[in-house]
Amino acid sequence: MTKLNDYDQFEGLHWETGSLRNFYAYQGVKAPHTNQPYSEAMLLGISGGVVMSYFTFNYQGYDPYVRIITRNTFDPLGKIYERLNIDQDIRQTSSAQKGVTNLVNVLEKGLPAIVLADLFSLPYNALPYDEGNWAMFPILIYGYDENEDQVWIADRARVPLIVSLEELAAARARVKKTKFRVLTFEPPDENKLASAVQEGIQDCIRLFTEPPPKGSKHNFGFLAYQRWVEVLTNPKSRGSWEREFPPGIESYSALTSVYNDIMIFGKDGGAERDVYAQFLEEASIIMALPGLKDIAPLFRTSAVAWNNLTEAVLPGDVPLLKETRDLMLEKHHLFLDQGNESLPMVRDINDRLADIKTLVSDDFPMSDAEVADLRENLRDQVLRIHDIEDDAVAELSRVMNGAPG
């Protein structure tokens, strides 16, 4: 058995920034401005911070769905490594056995190992396996025991997660490009922290106000809010919700996917605006710019508005939709609090959610007029968020324009 028996870091909430936060915290690496482990908020801010992206997808054989992306996804880890001058040790092989050897070698040196693994292949996620679906995310491995057939993992939950050797191998092998990759990192360069913070904030401003590095400008930033508003209430617009997500399984899928992205996907509500507010408070110390701290309340107000949006998405006065909302959040919290031990309860919740999906597919619990009112309410909520963040980003830009270059 090769295990870091003193490993105790389970605070990271998102795969990317959370795994890196846990990796450094275990080694006792501390940020100079707090003398505490680098916070996930700080890593989020340096990676490019929060953003708004709106997409819809309709693949044959699958329910149509909406994606709301709330943090920078344009190589966020790469930006952290570059901006903090972090040296990486990357080991990759197409051989499963060599992949194990590389992993165990890292553990034997007293380091946890970051590997890329498929979300759908890890049983503690309780997601249905599908040949057409995969999602590779970084997770942290801190123990590997061939005799007991156990691997110990830190991955968003507040408790240790355990899978079998075969389960980990399958998850690591899911995508050829990242097959059996193992990563470790040198500590960040403290002298680069201020410039890293500044570049991260400038990234955030650009992602809201300028065309993205890739993709349509209407899918990102303030234009994405405007596009979402347009498709919610204009039936003639391309991608309108009235046509793409009519009452039934289409509407249910859209509403639940929006709720999942905002409240559950690698985080815990608020579209991470409250996390970004914490980053700005830390950044104000690092950059000696008190104005950054003054902007933090705007992002906390936005976090509340995002949570209000999720309550409107699955309204409390429609019993089946409220039950769906409650069950999705309960499942998320069970995983965070209990990890593997929550699986029997999570499977029961999944069964009930499947039953609800069938019920709403056969007889959607809202009339056409009520669905139209729901879309109008969503539009109002989205506009509220847009206006709050328009003010917040404008203030951020104003403060940063006065920052030293």
- Tokens 């061939």 locate to 146
Q: What is the pLDDT of residues 35-51, one digit of tens each?
A: 999 999 999 999 999 99
Residues 237-277 pLDDT 10s: 999 999 999 999 999 999 999 999 999 986 778 999 999 99
Q: What mean pLDDT comes out for the span 153-173?
A: 98
Over residues 324-368, the pLDDT tens digits come to 999 999 999 999 999 999 999 999 999 999 999 999 999 999 999
Question: 2-185: which CATH number, 3.60.15.10, 3.40.50.2300, 3.90.70.10, 1.10.10.10?
Answer: 3.90.70.10
Is-contact 96 204, C-beta < 8 A?
Answer: no
CA atoms of 32 and 11, how far apart (whole Å): 20
Closest Cα partner for 38 from 49, 28, 50? 28
Percentage of the chain exceeding pLDDT 70: 99
φ and ψ at 36, to 5 degrees? -125, 165
CB-based contact 145:2 (threshold 8 Å)? yes
| Residue ranges of domains in the chain | 2-185, 193-401
CA angle 217, 221, 222 (to 5 degrees): 100
SS3 content of the chain, % helix, strand, coil (to 5): 60, 15, 30
For residue 111, give the 3-state DSSP assignment: coil
DSSP 8-state symbol, 402:
T
